[in-house]
C-alpha cells in the first residue's frame, strides 16, 4: 500500500501542494498516494477531511502525511485530532512571527491567491490580455506599454514564458520571433530598437530546437533541419551579444525557472 | 524604517514567496520591505544573501525576517549564521518526515518548478498551446481533445482561467462564449452537446460584468448596458441549469480560486 499524503488548504491549495511536493521530493517523490482538499474553511469541512484521513490510516496501517495550511487556529487544532502526521507551516511559524513582531495574528485566511486588492488584480488580468494581444510578433508598433519583450528564434518558449509572467506576476510581456532578415543582418528592427532596455533573449540548444520543431510541424523538413536550427541559434546569440541584450539558454528550464531568471536579471518587480 | 523581509530560495522562489506572504498577511501585510533572492545554490551565493540581510539588520536596527527554502542542509546551516530570523519549512519538517518515513533525505533541490520529467513538462506546454488555439470559441469542431470547456457570456474570466489551468496544471482547456442565439433558446450548440460531461459554466454578477465590459469597450453602450448584462447572466444560468452544467459565480474570485473550484468540482487531476 502506498503511503497516503493529504494536501489540505483553507484556500486554493496551490502553496501547500507545492511545498509538500518539494518536501517529499527529498525522499524520492514516489510511492505516495496524493489527495488534495481545498477551501476547507469550516468545522464541518474539517471533519470531512479528518474522516478521509482516518479512513486512510485504518486502510494503510500507517499514518498518512497531512500537509496543511490553515490560518484559523481553531480549525488547525480541530484538524490536529486526525490520525495523520500533521505538517502545517502556519503552526510552525505563526508563534515565532508573533513574538518577533510583537503582535497577535489575525486568522485571516492566509493565502495570497484571493482578490485582496481589486485594482492590482485587474491590472494582472490586463497584463494577460496585453500579453495575448502581443504574442508572436503581433503589433510591434505598440510595444511602448510592454514592460518586457522576449526575443528569439521560433519555438524557444517565448509564448508560455510570456503568459506565465503575465498571469503570475502581472507583467506586460510582448514576444517577437526573430526573422531570417534579422538573423542575417544581426540588426534589430526599429520597433525593438526603440525599447532596447526591455528586451530579453531566449534560445535553446539546436538539438532541442530540432526536436520541438519536428514535433510541431512534422511535414516541414527545412524548419526542423539541424543546419537551420544551429544557424538560427548561433545567429540569435550573435545578435543578442552585438546589441547588448541579456539572454538565457532555456534548454533544461521550466517556464517558472525562465521567468524567475528574467525577473532577477532585469530587476523587475515580482 | 519598515521591517525588512527576505525571500530566499535555491530555486524559483515561487513557493516560499507565496508562503511567506500568506504568513505575513496574518499580521497585516503592510509596512514590510520585501526582497527576493532566487537560485541561491552555492556557498558564495548564500554569503551574498547573508551580507544583504546583515546590512538590513544594521540599517533597520531590528532583525529582518528571512523566509527561505533550501534543500541542502549545509547551505541551510550557513544561512542560519545571518542576523535575521530564519523561517525555513525544510528545517521545520525534514526531520519529522525522515523519522516518519524511516529514510534519510537527499538534498535534491526541493522545488517542483524544474523539469524533472520531460514528457510531463512537454505535455503541460502542449496544453498551453491547445488552450491558446481553442480560446474564445475557436475551433469548436475539435473539442474532442479538450479535458474541460469553459462556457459563459463574454468577459466572465474564461480566457485567463483557461490559461491558468493549462500553465499550472497541464489541463487542455477550450473556452466558448455563449452567443445570443444560445442565450435565447437555452440550447447548447452540437459541438458542446457532444462533450457535455466536460462543460463548466462561468458567470459574474451583472454589475461586475457591466464594469468589465465598459472598461473593455468604452464606445459600445449596448455591450455594457445593465439590461443586456443582466439578461445574459440570467440566461446563462438558466442554460447551465437546464443542461445540468456545473457552474460558478466568479465575481469575487481570482483565477487561482476559480481554477481550484473547477478542479475540485469536476474531480480533475491536479
Residue-wise pLDDT for A15-42, tens only, equals: 999 999 989 988 886 679 999 999 999 9
Residue A85's closest chain B neighbor by CA?
B100
Q: Single out the residue of B155, B209, B252 nearest to residue A114, CA to CA.
A: B252
Q: Which residues of B touch A261 (CB under 8 A)?
A: 38-39
Place of cell 503592510: B30
Nearest-angstrom CA–CA distance, B33 and B49: 15
pLDDT reported for residue A118: 83
pLDDT reported for residue B29: 62
Region A187-197 average pLDDT = 93
Residues 6+ apart with CB under 8 A from A98: A104, A105, B27
Name the more confident of A267 and B87.
B87
Cell numbers linked to A163: 503568459
Given phi > 0 = left and psi -120 to 50 = alpha, else beta, which region is B265? alpha
Q: List, in sequence order, every residue forming a beta bridge with B8; answer none if it has no partner.
A: B37, B68
pLDDT reported for residue A219: 86
Nearest-angstrom CA–CA distance, B258 and B249: 9
pLDDT reading at B106 higher than 90: no
Helical pair B89-101 and A14-25, crossing angle rounded to 10 deg:
60
Q: How far is the CA of B190 from the CAs of B141, B233, B237, in angstroms?
A: 9, 22, 19
Domains and CATH numbers, chain B: 3-101 (3.40.50), 118-266 (3.40.50)
- B113 interface with A at CB cutoff 8 Å: yes
pLDDT reported for residue A111: 55
Q: How far is the CA of A82 from the CAs of A65, A215, B241, in angstroms?
A: 11, 48, 38
- A17 interface with B at CB cutoff 8 Å: yes
**DSSP H or E run through B11:** none
pLDDT reading at B148 higher than 90: yes
Nearest-angstrom CA–CA distance, B34 and B20: 10
Given an 8 Å threshold on Cβ–Cβ distance, is B112 in contact with A22?
A: yes
Q: Which residues of B touch A108 (CB under 8 A)?
A: 25-26
pLDDT reported for residue B109: 63
Cell numbers linked to B141: 469542431
pLDDT reported for residue A36: 96
Region A212-217 average pLDDT = 90
pLDDT reported for residue A97: 95
CA A126 to chain centre: 18
pLDDT reported for residue B111: 55
Residues 6+ apart with CB under 8 A from B193: none
pLDDT reported for residue A269: 81
The ipTM estimated for the assembled molecules is 0.93
Place of cell 551574498: B48
Assess contact for B38 and A266: CB atoms under 8 A: no
Given an 8 Å threshold on Cβ–Cβ distance, is B27 in contact with A111?
A: no
Percentage, residues of chain B above pLDDT 70: 97
* A99-111 pLDDT tens trace: 999 999 987 665 5
Given an 8 Å threshold on Cβ–Cβ distance, is A105 in contact with B39?
A: no
Nearest-angstrom CA–CA distance, A200 and A152: 9
pLDDT reading at A43 higher than 80: yes
- Give residue B218's pLDDT band: very low, low, confident or very high (50, 70, 90): confident
Assess contact for B121 and B239: CB atoms under 8 A: no
- A164 interface with B at CB cutoff 8 Å: yes
Nearest-angstrom CA–CA distance, B95 and A17: 19
Q: Which residues of B touch A93 (CB under 8 A)?
A: 23, 87, 92
pLDDT reported for residue A108: 67
Q: Which residues of A touch B157 (CB under 8 A)?
A: 125
3-state secondary structure of B19: helix
- Give residue A270's pLDDT band: very low, low, confident or very high (50, 70, 90): confident
- B71 interface with A at CB cutoff 8 Å: yes
pLDDT reported for residue B114: 74
Amino acid at each position: 500500500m502506498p503511503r497516503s499524503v493529504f494536501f489540505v488548504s483553507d484556500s486554493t491549495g496551490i502553496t501547500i501542494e507545492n511545498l509538500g511536493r518539494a518536501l517529499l521530493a527529498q525522499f524520492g517523490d514516489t510511492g505516495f498516494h496524493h489527495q488534495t482538499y481545498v477551501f476547507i474553511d469550516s468545522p464541518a469541512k474539517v471533519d470531512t477531511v479528518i474522516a478521509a484521513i482516518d479512513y486512510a490510516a485504518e486502510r494503510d496501517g500507517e499514518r498518512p502525511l497531512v500537509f496543511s495550511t490553515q490560518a484559523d487556529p481553531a480549525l488547525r487544532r480541530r484538524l490536529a485530532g486526525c490520525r495523520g502526521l500533521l505538517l502545517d507551516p502556519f503552526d510552525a511559524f505563526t508563534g515565532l512571527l508573533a513574538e518577533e513582531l510583537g503582535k497577535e495574528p489575525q486568522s485571516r485566511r492566509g493565502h495570497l491567491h484571493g482578490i485582496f486588492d481589486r485594482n492590482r488584480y485587474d491590472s494582472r488580468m490586463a497584463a494577460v490580455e496585453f500579453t495575448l494581444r502581443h504574442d508572436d510578433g503581433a503589433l510591434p508598433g505598440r510595444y511602448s506599454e510592454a514592460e518586457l519583450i522576449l526575443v528569439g528564434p521560433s519555438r524557444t518558449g517565448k509564448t508560455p514564458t510570456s503568459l506565465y509572467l503575465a498571469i503570475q506576476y502581472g507583467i506586460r510581456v510582448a514576444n517577437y520571433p526573430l526573422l531570417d532578415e534579422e538573423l542575417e543582418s544581426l540588426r534589430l528592427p526599429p520597433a525593438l530598437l526603440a525599447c532596447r532596455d526591455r528586451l530579453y533573449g531566449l534560445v535553446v540548444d539546436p538539438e532541442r530546437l530540432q526536436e520541438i520543431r519536428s514535433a510541431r510541424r512534422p511535414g516541414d523538413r527545412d524548419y526542423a533541419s539541424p543546419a537551420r536550427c544551429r544557424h538560427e541559434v548561433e545567429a540569435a546569440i550573435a545578435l543578442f551579444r552585438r546589441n547588448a541584450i541579456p539572454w538565457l539558454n532555456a534548454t533544461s528550464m521550466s517556464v517558472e525557472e525562465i521567468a524567475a531568471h528574467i525577473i532577477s536579471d532585469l530587476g523587475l518587480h515580482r
